[in-house]
């Protein structure tokens, strides 16, 4: 029996030190910068550089970084073939998980754990992931192949490549902004998975493959897709209030299979997620261009009900759903977009874990049967 018993889900447990992100009730900071400040004054690649290298880049560092990442925006032909051979019915998150694992096979740095090689792999993955997502769009939605434009942000390029055409400058700017908001969030489930894998001195591609698996779940990154499917379901019922009341009735009558409202709640932010408020504003701005403000009206109605009835606030995945929907992105690509951003936080944590590594190996309290003797098979009946 251990001396200290953790709460379920390790709630409130500080599991280590990190100098990458600071989660405060006033907002999230990356290496000391408020993300609102970053979102207003920097592009995603600057933030990626900050997370991976520790400081914001100078003009020369930025130009060199952008050029390095853009030169990595290609996949080994074997990975292209493997993606083309995958069944179109699989979730794109499964495609990405397998693709990253395969990318490791053809990466000359794969087993090199030096800091220089880890940085090269981080920048390579940052360039490769959007290409894998774009390839999936070409295969499944038959969109045109769009080469990345060296003058555009990574977010704008990702959006264009997913759509197979040029999106509006505003949509590109907002996409890039969402990548900033999604980039890093201390010891969340996928990052902790990546750190746990890294703590065994396993390689970066293994850690990222595991992290993608963790992000896929609807309680974590998969919530942005689930939130949009929920908006579509609400639209069918005709009213957010009716949908909410029906769900409450279901939960009352089925206490053992209560349904969650996706895009709400957070382990850390109990008084609201600042990122969600920012992205709601941007989505509202986008709706003036798309004419699809109905999603925000619906979202606001449900948000007011959740606050009044349950005092639970929306998280970032909630506005991400209606922002990405307005951009015309297929719903099952919302979590892969999250991967294209969070790769920066994961890689920063993988490198930080290696700098002060000790294997992550917690204990459990045993709750199974007491010591007993094996009854030989012949006597077990």
Ligand X SMILES: CC(C)(COP(=O)(O)OP(=O)(O)OC[C@H]1O[C@@H](n2cnc3c(N)ncnc32)[C@H](O)[C@@H]1OP(=O)(O)O)[C@@H](O)C(=O)NCCC(=O)NCCS
Q: Which amino acids are annotated catalytic?
A: 220, 266, 317
Shortest distance (Å) from residue 263 CB to ligand X:
5
260, 277, 284, 307: which one binds ligand X (CB under 6 A): 260
Shortest distance (Å) from residue 345 CB to ligand X:
14
23 near ligand X (CB under 6 A): no
Residues 362/366/371/374 CA torsion (nearest 10 deg): -80
102 near ligand X (CB under 6 A): no
120 near ligand X (CB under 6 A): no
Q: Give the residue from 261, 228, 226, 255 showing the smallest Cα distance to 243.
A: 261
- The interface region with ligand X, picked from 21-29, 42-50, 265-273, 366-374 by CB under 6 A, is 265-273
Cross-strand bridge partners of residue 35? none
CB atoms within 10 A of CB 358: 8
Written as one string, the DSSP assignment of 200-220 is: TT--HHHHHHHHHHHHHSTTT
User: 13 near 5, Cβ under 8 Å?
Assistant: no
Shortest distance (Å) from residue 349 CB to ligand X:
17
345 near ligand X (CB under 6 A): no
Phi-psi category of residue 201: left, alpha or beta, with phi > 0 → left and psi -120 to 50 → alpha: left
User: 49 near 185, Cβ under 8 Å?
Assistant: no
Shortest distance (Å) from residue 337 CB to ligand X:
15
48, 223, 321, 351: which one binds ligand X (CB under 6 A): 223
Select 148 or 263, whichever has its Cβ closest to ligand X.
Answer: 263
Q: Give the residue from 48, 45, 28 showing the smallest Cα distance to 37.
A: 28
Select 9 or 54, whichever has its Cβ closest to ligand X.
Answer: 9
Classify 146 as helix, strand or coil: coil
Select 65 or 182, whichever has its Cβ closest to ligand X.
Answer: 182
Question: Distance between CA atoms of 264 and 277, rounded to whole angstroms?
Answer: 13
6 secondary structure, DSSP code: P
264, 295, 324, 346: which one binds ligand X (CB under 6 A): 264
Select 57 or 319, whichever has its Cβ closest to ligand X.
Answer: 319
Classify 264 as helix, strand or coil: strand
148, 196, 263, 330: which one binds ligand X (CB under 6 A): 263
9 near ligand X (CB under 6 A): yes
- Say if residue 280 is exposed, middle or buried (CB neighbours under 10 Å; 0-12, 13-18, 19+): buried
Select 136 or 264, whichever has its Cβ closest to ligand X.
Answer: 264
Select 151 or 256, whichever has its Cβ closest to ligand X.
Answer: 256
Cross-strand bridge partners of residue 21? 30
Specify the residue for token string 């499944």. 140
- The interface region with ligand X, picked from 65-73, 138-146, 236-244, 259-267 by CB under 6 A, is 259-267
Question: Distance between CA atoms of 331 and 320, rounded to whole angstroms?
Answer: 11
266 near ligand X (CB under 6 A): yes
Residues of this chain, 283-342, that bind ligand X according to CB under 6 A: 312, 315, 317
Shortest distance (Å) from residue 160 CB to ligand X:
27
Question: Distance between CA atoms of 73 and 127, rounded to whole angstroms?
Answer: 4
Of all residues in the shown chain, the one whose CB is closest to ligand X is: 265
265 near ligand X (CB under 6 A): yes
Q: Which residues bind ligand X (CB under 6 A)?
A: 9, 219, 223, 260-267, 312, 315, 317
């Amino acid at each position: 029996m251990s001396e200290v018993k953790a709460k379920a889900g390790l709630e409130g447990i500080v599991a280590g030190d990190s100098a990458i992100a600071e989660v405060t009730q006033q907002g999230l900071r990356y290496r000391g910068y408020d993300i609102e400040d970053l979102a207003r004054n920097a592009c995603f690649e600057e933030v990626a550089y900050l997370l991976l290298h520790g400081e914001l880049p100078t003009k020369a560092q930025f130009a060199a970084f952008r050029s390095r990442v853009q030169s990595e925006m290609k996949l080994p032909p074997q990975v292209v073939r493997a993606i083309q051979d995958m069944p179109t019915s699989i979730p794109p998150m499964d495609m990405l998980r397998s693709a990253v694992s395969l990318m490791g096979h053809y990466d000359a740095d794969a087993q090199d754990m030096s800091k220089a090689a880890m940085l090269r792999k981080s920048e390579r993955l940052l360039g490769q992931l959007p290409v894998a997502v774009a390839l999936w769009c070409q295969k499944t939605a038959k969109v045109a192949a769009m080469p990345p434009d060296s003058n555009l942000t990574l977010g704008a390029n990702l959006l264009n490549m997913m759509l197979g055409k040029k999106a509006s400058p505003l949509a590109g700017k907002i996409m890039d902004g969402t990548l900033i908001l999604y980039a890093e969030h201390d010891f969340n489930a996928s990052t902790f998975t990546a750190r746990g894998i890294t703590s065994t001195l396993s390689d970066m591609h293994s850690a990222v493959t595991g992290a993608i698996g963790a992000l896929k779940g609807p309680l974590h990154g998969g919530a942005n897709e689930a939130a949009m499917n929920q908006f579509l379901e609400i639209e069918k019922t005709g009213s957010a209030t009716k949908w909410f009341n029906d769900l409450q009735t279901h939960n009352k009558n089925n206490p053992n299979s209560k349904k969650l409202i996706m895009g709400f709640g957070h382990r850390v932010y109990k008084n609201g997620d600042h990122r969600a408020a920012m992205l709601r504003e941007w989505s509202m701005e986008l709706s003036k261009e798309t004419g699809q403000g109905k999603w925000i009206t619906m979202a606001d109605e449900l948000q007011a009900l959740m606050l009044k009835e349950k005092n639970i606030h929306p998280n970032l995945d909630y506005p991400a759903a209606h922002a990405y929907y307005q951009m015309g992105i297929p719903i099952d690509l919302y979590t892969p977009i999250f991967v294209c951003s969070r790769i920066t936080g994961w890689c920063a944590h993988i490198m930080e874990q290696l700098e002060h590594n000790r294997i992550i190996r917690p204990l459990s309290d045993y709750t199974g049967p007491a010591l007993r003797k094996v009854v030989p098979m012949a006597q077990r009946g």
